[in-house]
Structure 1
Amino acid sequence: MSSVLTVPVGLGSRAYDVLVGDGALDAAADRLPGFFPRQRAILVTDSHIAPLHLERVITLLAGAGLACDPIVMEPGERAKSFAGLEQLVDALLERNIERSEAVIALGGGVIGDLTGFAAAVTKRGVDFIQIPTTLLAQVDSSVGGKTGINTRQGKNFAGAFHQPRLVIADTALLATLPERERRAGYAEIVKAALIGDEPMFERLDAAGAGVLQGAPLARAIADAVAFKARIVAEDELEHGNRALLNLGHTFAHAFEAEAPKDAIRHGEAVAAGIALAFRYSVARGECPASDADRVEAHLRSVGLPWNAASLAHKDWDAARLVARMRDDKKNQAGEITLILARGIGKAWIDPRIDTTHLVAFLETSLS
């Protein structure tokens, strides 16, 4: 029996599958030729990922009768910029890409976001396929169609909703992932459970750190992707409940903006942000303290930050963090929107946060 799980993302004519598990690349081989009518596959990766995984994908494509034409970008967030977008679009146009062709994104969230945005705007839209190589990308950024680049004003402030045609989340690709990155990616898995799937949290909590390896990890990825797929199918353009998927992220983006470059990972900031969202909900009398305690204990058990003080960077200023939170894309009418919790699996959206109370809460939490 195949160990590869198929998770459908139901979006009508734009529906697609997410293949999850060890061997997902091989399982996708028969599907690939239909996306490349010119028998060539333009592939975007970066100079860090290419030595690790490019040869494996070239071999897979060759077996499917496809020649690979790689574009290798610089690694890291610098590529996720207007300059990087221009470089990539130019490279696609130099290859005379046609609207009937797809582009493959092989890499983490940066490559996936950048390639997806380039695919959305090149010749007014070409298809793309995601092959995410980090746990964070497999469980989050590769699914749902959010693409974009960073601007001086913040992360992902320029972008488009552009759904992939296929996502291949092969867990074998995670073998080269440093343990810190694996743990950081797990934050997005537990986030899904905390938003709206208490039984899933119970399973994750029972597994503890063992959930980060092998078949339990593949199952957890598939569960989190299925949860996200349901929300995306209901609210593709994030006008309503899709904002729930940002649990912990408003705090996290503020941490990332204030921290020195590379001091903290996105998933680490999300974990601390999730813990703060639960603890702030407790402070407002909306969530049992015991649930916040359980969340913090679980994050700590898998090696993730469980509060702001446990992040690698510790020099935070409450007022500056809240000022960063004012710039969040979810905000409306000048008010900060937060995803809060009435308990484990019971997240909700509050579009009008009292900033004075929030600053006071953070001052206490940071001290």
Structure 2
Amino acid sequence: MKPLTLTVDAPSHQYPIFIESSLQDALMRQLAQYSSKKAAIVTNHTIAPLYLEQVQAACKAAGVDAFSIILPDGEEYKTWESLNLIFDGLLTNHAERSTTLIALGGGVIGDMVGFAAATYQRGAPFIQIPTTLLSQVDSSVGGKTAINHPLGKNMIGAFYQPQAVFIGLDTLKTLPEREFAAGMAEVIKYALLGDAEFLNTLEQNISAIQAQEQDILAQVIFHCCKMKANIVAQDEKEHGVRAYLNLGHTFGHAIETEMGYGVWLHGEAVAAGMVLACHLSEHLGHINAEDTARVIRLLEQAQLPTQAPDFDLDTWIAHMQHDKKVINGEMRFVVLERLGKAAMAKGITAEILANVIPHV
């Protein structure tokens, strides 16, 4: 495939996204431009045996003195304790404010390393090297960083943009099928919230995407990154249209928190959450049952769950009241005016939700 590059024009600063078939090639060509002379490679026990050596070699070739910090793997470790392990490694290795933090892994690593970078000595540079489909199309782009709290997902964090994002399609070859499917939830999300033609493309090419045919997969990742870059350029800190990227997430985060972090993968919870968002959109008179069935069919083709766990209404509402879109105590939900166009819905009462939640 031909290497692809695009720029995120965030108000705080611009940065590039490099998409190549080989992560090693991308790093060897570009890393020296975006890293300081000292770097901390932060990864986890699953990713380290697969890609740490490649990144260390690229750092050495770029003249970067790199040390590594290896964390436990899993959403359940996206905590203060893991964050302190990063700080312990940085301080032990005498990292300076100029030391570049390199996030090598999926969304959990990217979020934690970004938060560590935002707060270490009040701000250190960092680079994203996402190794999962979900992180490549979504979480590595846009500067959202966070850790979880027992009462809510991603409740403690900062907006902090990376210096660059390096995406190698070869890292997806070692990704478990369940993790790849979870990433597809975020891909489908982009189509639903802002691009009906992209939805058609996904429906027509779902088999080729799942087979990881490089040309179509690269175009899908590029398209999602471009959509997110355009939204971030308009609304870096989620005061407006960026909230649309949370389609399905209000329900999804409730699932993750109630079930226990890591029991449902983030993308799985978002998939079930998008179905509930479709049902809510139906109830509000925006889309019809055929539209919802179309969404369910594509999610099922992508090997994603479409039915949420059976919690009682009070449990759902208790979790959703911790959602970051709540303003002055009022819950707000991202809904679909039509497939390919999102909107924010206010005034969603418990009575309305009672008509939506029974679908599970």
CA contact (8 A) 1:104 1:130 kept: yes
Give the secondary-structure state (helix, strand or coil) at the position aligned to 2:205: helix
Post-superposition offset of 1:36: 3.8
Q: What is residue 159 of structure 1 aligned with on the other side? A: 157
Alignment partner of 1:358 is 2:358: no
Q: Match of 1:147?
A: 145
Instruction: Quote the offset at 1:187 in angstroms.
Output: 0.5
Match of 2:64 in 1: 66
Alpha carbons 2:23, 2:171 under 8 Å: kept: no
1:6: which partner in 2? 5
Check whether the contact 2:98–2:124 (CA below 8 A) recurs between aligned residues: yes
The Cα of 1:244 is off from its aligned counterpart by 0.1
TM-score computed with the length of structure 1 as normaliser? 0.93
Q: CA deviation at 1:210?
A: 2.1
Distance 1:183 1:287 in 2: 25
Residue 13 of structure 2 aligns with an amino acid whose one-letter code is: R
- Cα distance in 1 between the residues matched to 2:122 and 2:258: 36
Letter in 2 for 1:334: G
Q: Distance in 1 between matches of 2:285 and 2:36?
A: 58
Distance 1:118 1:33 in 2: 22
Q: Which residue in the other structure is 1:131 paired with?
A: 129
Matched, 1:275 2:270: no
State the AA in 2 paired with 1:237: K
Given that 1:250 and 1:328 are in contact with CA atoms closer than 8 Å, whether structure 2 keeps it comes out as: yes
Determine if contact 1:44/1:103 at 8 Å carries over to the other structure.
yes
1:53-79 deviations in Å (ceiling 9; x for gaps): 111212222222333311111222343
- CA deviation string 1:193-220 (max 9, x = no partner): 1101111111011112322212212211
Q: Which residue of 1 aligns with 2:335?
A: 340
Task: Measure, in 1, the Cα distance between the counterparts of 2:200 and 2:147.
Answer: 36
Deviations 1:261-317 (A, max 9, x none): 543211011111111111221122111322212111111122112232xxxxx4432
| DSSP 3-state at the match of 1:342 | strand
Distance 2:263 2:111 in 1: 22
Taking a change above 3 Å as real, the CA distance of residues 260 and 124 of structure 1, as seen in their structure-2 partners, is: closer
In 1, Cα distance between the equivalents of 2:72 and 2:145?
A: 18
User: Residue 213 of structure 2 aligns with which residue?
Assistant: 214
Q: Distance in 2 between matches of 1:339 and 1:325?
A: 13
Superposition map of 1:278-297 within 5 A: 278-297=278-297
- Is the 2:36–2:64 Cα contact (8 Å) retained in structure 1? no
Q: Return the letter of the residue paired with 1:114.
A: M
Question: How big is the shift at 1:24?
Answer: 4.3
Structure 1 residue ranges without an equivalent (≥5)? 309-313
Partners in 1 of 2:264 and 2:108 — Cα distance?
A: 16
- Offset of residue 335 of structure 1: 1.1
Task: Supply the distance in 2 between the matched residues of 1:161 and 1:81 (Cα, whole angstroms).
Answer: 17
Partner of residue 324 from structure 1, selected from 319, 338, 341: 319
Letter in structure 2 aligned against 1:329 = K
Alignment of 1:17-96 (within 5 A): 17-38=16-37, 40-96=38-94
> RMSD across aligned C-alpha pairs, in angstroms?
1.6
- What amino acid sits opposite 1:190 in the alignment? I
Shift in alpha-carbon separation, 1:231–1:189, aligned structure 2, 3 A: same
User: CA 1:52–1:24 in structure 2 vs 1: closer, same or farther (change >3 Å)?
Assistant: closer
Distance 1:261 1:28, change over 3 A: closer
Inter-CA distance 353–13: structure 2 relative to 1 (3 Å threshold): closer
The amino acid across from 2:49 in the alignment is P
Distance in 2 (alpha carbons) for counterparts of 1:335 and 1:282: 21
Separation of aligned partners in 2, 1:321 and 1:33: 47
- Runs of 4+, deviation exceeding 6 Å: none
The verdict on how the C-alpha distance between 1:260 and 1:236 changes in structure 2, with shifts beyond 3 A counting, is closer
Q: CA deviation at 1:332?
A: 0.6
CA distance in 2: counterparts of 1:193 and 1:152, whole angstroms: 31
| Residue correspondences, number | 358
Deviation at 1:260, TM superposition (A): 4.7
What CA deviation, in whole Å up to 9, does each residue of 1:334-358 have, x standing for no partner?
1111000011101101133122210
Aligned to 2:230: 230
Matched-pair contact (CA < 8 Å) for 1:117–1:162: yes
- Is the CA contact (8 Å cut-off) linking 1:319 and 1:359 kept in structure 2? no
SS in 1 for 2:355: helix
Amino acid at match of 1:53: Y
Q: Distance in 2 between matches of 1:203 and 1:35?
A: 34
Q: CA deviation at 1:95?
A: 2.0
Partner of 1:311: none
Q: Distance in 2 between matches of 1:60 and 1:33?
A: 9
By how many angstroms is 1:362 displaced? 0.6
Q: Look up the match of 1:170.
A: 168
**Alignment correspondent of 1:247:** 247
Change (3 A) 1:148 1:240: same
Q: Which amino acid aligns with 1:328?
A: D
Compute the displacement of 1:141 (Å): 0.9
Q: Distance in 1 between matches of 2:261 and 2:157?
A: 22
For 1:16-49, what per-residue CA distance to the aligned partner results, in whole angstroms no more than 9, with x for missing partners?
A: 11112312441242332234443x3211111121
2:29 and 2:217 map into 1 onto residues whose CA distance is 25
